[in-house]
Amino acid sequence: MNRSYVNWIGYRTLMRKELMRILRIWGQTIVPPAITMSLYFIIFGNLIGRRIGEMGGFDYMQFIVPGLVMMSVIQNSYGNMVSSFFGAKFGRHIEELLISPLPNWIILLGYLSGSVTRGLMVGIVVTVVALFFTEIHVHNWPVTISVVLLTAIVFGLAGMVNAIFAQKFDDIAIIPTFVLTPLTYLGGVFYSVSLLPPVWQNISSGNPILYMVNAFRYGMLGISDVPLVTSYLIIIGFIFLLGGVCLWLLHKGTGLRS
Amino acid sequence: MLALDIRDLKKTYKNGVQALKGVSLQVERGDFFALLGPNGAGKSTLIGIISSLVNPSAGQVTICGHDLSSDRAQAMASIGLVPQEVNFNQFERPLDIVSHQAGYYGIPRKLALERAEHYLRQLALWDKHDKPSRTLSGGMKRRLMIARAMVNQPELLILDEPTAGVDIEIRRSMWTFLNEINRQGTTVILTTHYLEEAENMCRNVAIIDHGNIVENTDIKTLLAKLDVETFVLDLRHPVEQVPQSDGIHFHLRDATTLEVSLPKERSLNTLFAALAEHGIEVLSMRNKSNRLEELFMRLVENEQETAA
């Protein structure tokens, strides 16, 4: 049988399996972000936001929508990969793939497609929730779509690295809790970094999530604290870096093969 | 042509444990082969390397003519694996588990579903095809893993203790299934602790211990090496004294149970003549243990003595 055909069918099967998983546990995958983001919109956007007034030329509710959409995409693409891949490793059903003829890059692509799909699904749900609170006009569709897609890929890949090294369930909670959440909150979701003192602006410039949130905000609102080209370079750079790391770890069998 | 050709395979784990010390093994196509050995002998490591779940330290593995290191995809497409422990997603349905596995081998969805149904029916699991697999019994879970391993119609099927802990009825139905697929041309390699299973089903056998193959031959040749067979006799009347007879060793377990070790060159008639001479009436007799089991114990004990 032709290798490309085997790989294509294998990829489709893996993608199907991941999609079934997301939909089977929709109460864990789709609903919680919708509820959490609704609370953010009510508390930060509606109650507190009215006292803040405008930010970057938009009312505060409109300003935080891109950040909150991006935050949910980041958390869910990462969370889907780490829970699905580590779950497969922990339950040992990853062996179904490891003993199959599928190459490592198809295994990576299959899981990555699942995590990007969940990230985008949740992003769409949060956007729909946002429509209940404010009007949304997209400034630049290609930038909006490409940035959200590329960001979901970055965090799907990061989730894979975490899942490969994780040995117990605690290990898949450490990075989201102690790294991802602080970086997201400090990545300009709720504020413009131009409001910060110069020292903190410089420190913030080391946070890759800042570039992703701002590139997405540019796509939706047309404003950004950082140059768009820099954002794309950082996002694509992370994709190559993390993708290479994932493939190398899968090739070595780290955490998967004895 | 060989279904499996292993040359000088070695595996040393990071903790320094040398699980395989240079194993060489050949299995002919169409064979029904038993791989036996005590716990920790290296069986699972060997199967792990063949199925690419364990990276070897040295040596070469060729599966149905495909080198595992240079032609992994073709080698893996040729085998099906039934592991010792349950390793499917217990939240999925049996139909999904089997059909998804087919997809990983490049089998299109329609055919995958047909094959999944075929093997689930053959293994008497079709009525559970849409139930969560965690609700299946232990025996059903093992049969599900066999169905999953068969869905790509492998040339070589490897089963790591497939009948461990399942009741005799299910065990026998598994034997029937395995014999049937072997008759149709699938090479089967089986590890088992039920040596009766190996003796009844397999044509060739390898015994592995301490990471070395200590015996590799056909079952008949191996059994011919058994020079003494031990029987247990149930007696009609109690006896007080152990009978004596030249070349036959008697051991009285209790007043009505006698254990007899009979050298191969002595016939059963000699035994019964000796018993009649002592006025002992036998109600029934049976082997103390399976013949292969006796040989296995001797080979493993010899190996342990050599190692010591």
Express each pLDDT in B6-56 by its tens digit.
Answer: 999 999 998 888 999 999 999 999 999 999 888 888 898 999 999 999 999
pLDDT, tens digit, 9 for 90 and up, residues B134-184: 999 888 899 999 999 999 999 999 999 888 777 788 888 888 899 999 999
- Report the pLDDT averaged over residues B233-244: 84
Nearest to B9 by CA among B60, B70, B44: B60
By C-alpha distance, the chain B residue nearest A7 is: B106
Cβ neighbours of B81 in A, within 8 Å: 99
**Token digits for B39?**
């716990």
Contacts of A1 (CB under 8 A, 6+ apart): B77, B106
Q: Is B227 strand, coil or helix?
A: coil
Domain ranges of chain B: 2-223, 226-307
B47 touches chain A (CB under 8 A): no
**Token digits for B239?**
């006896």
B3 touches chain A (CB under 8 A): no
d(CA A141, CA A182): 28
> Which member of B48, B76, B89 has the closest CB to residue A100?
B76
Query: CATH assignment of B2-223, given 3.30.360.10, 3.40.30.10, 3.30.2400.10, 3.40.50.300?
Result: 3.40.50.300
- CATH number for the segment(s) B226-307: 3.30.70.1560
Burial of residue A139 (CB within 10 Å: 0-12, 13-18, 19+) is middle
B53 touches chain A (CB under 8 A): yes
Total-model pTM: 0.84
pLDDT band at A112 (very low <50, low <70, confident <90, very high): very high
Amino acid B106: pLDDT? 93
CB contact under 8 A, B87 and A102: no
The CA distances from residue B205 to A101, B26, B190, in Å, are 28, 11, 9
Check if the beta carbon of residue B106 is closer than 8 Å to that of residue A105: no
By C-alpha distance, the chain B residue nearest A92 is: B87
To probe the interface with A, which of B72, B81, B90, B104 has the most A CB atoms within 10 Å?
A: B104
B58-63/B2-12 β-pairing:
antiparallel
pLDDT, tens digit, 9 for 90 and up, residues B192-228: 877 777 888 888 999 888 888 888 888 888 777 767 7
> Which member of A17, A24, A258 has the closest CB to residue B100?
A17
Contacts of A242 (CB under 8 A, 6+ apart): A154, A157, A158, A160, A161
* Residue B220 phi, psi (nearest 5): -60, -45
Domain ranges of chain A: 3-252
What distance in Å separates residue B293's CA from the closest CA in chain A? 31
Contacts of B210 (CB under 8 A, 6+ apart): B21, B41, B42, B303, B304, B307
B96 touches chain A (CB under 8 A): yes
How many other CB atoms are found less than 10 A from the CB of residue B67?
14
- Report the pLDDT averaged over residues B263-280: 84
d(CA B202, CA A143): 65
Most confident listed range (A233-237, A250-254, B204-208): A233-237
pLDDT band at A135 (very low <50, low <70, confident <90, very high): confident
Cβ neighbours of B96 in A, within 8 Å: 17, 20
pLDDT at B294 over 70: no
> Which member of A12, A99, A253 has the closest CB to residue B51?
A99
B51 touches chain A (CB under 8 A): yes
d(CA A115, CA A162): 14
- Report the pLDDT averaged over residues B257-262: 86
Cβ neighbours of B53 in A, within 8 Å: 95, 98-99, 257-258
Contacts of B163 (CB under 8 A, 6+ apart): B142, B170, B171, B174, B175, B192, B194, B197
User: Which B residues in the span 140-169 are in contact with A, Cβ-Cβ below 8 Å?
Assistant: 148
DSSP character at residue A48: I
How many other CB atoms are found less than 10 A from the CB of residue B245?
17
pLDDT band at A163 (very low <50, low <70, confident <90, very high): very high
Size of interface A-B (CB pairs under 8 A): 90
pLDDT band at B292 (very low <50, low <70, confident <90, very high): low
At residue B282, what is the residue type?
A: V
d(CA B93, CA B116): 12
Nearest to A127 by CA among A59, A205, A73: A73
Phi/psi region, residue B280 (left: phi>0; alpha: psi -120 to 50; beta: rest), is beta
Check if the beta carbon of residue A93 is closer than 8 Å to that of residue B88: yes
To probe the interface with B, which of A96, A98, A250, A252 has the most B CB atoms within 10 Å?
A: A96
> Which member of B73, B100, B104 has the closest CB to residue A3?
B73
B250 touches chain A (CB under 8 A): no
What distance in Å separates residue B54's CA from the closest CA in chain A? 5
Amino acid B302: pLDDT? 67
d(CA B72, CA B67): 7
Amino acid B148: pLDDT? 95
> Which member of A93, A99, A102 has the closest CB to residue B53?
A99
What distance in Å separates residue A3's CA from the closest CA in chain B? 8
Check if the beta carbon of residue A159 is closer than 8 Å to that of residue A113: no
CB contact under 8 A, A96 and B77: no
**ipTM > 0.90?**
no
Check if the beta carbon of residue B14 is closer than 8 Å to that of residue B63: no
**Token digits for B296?**
């296995």
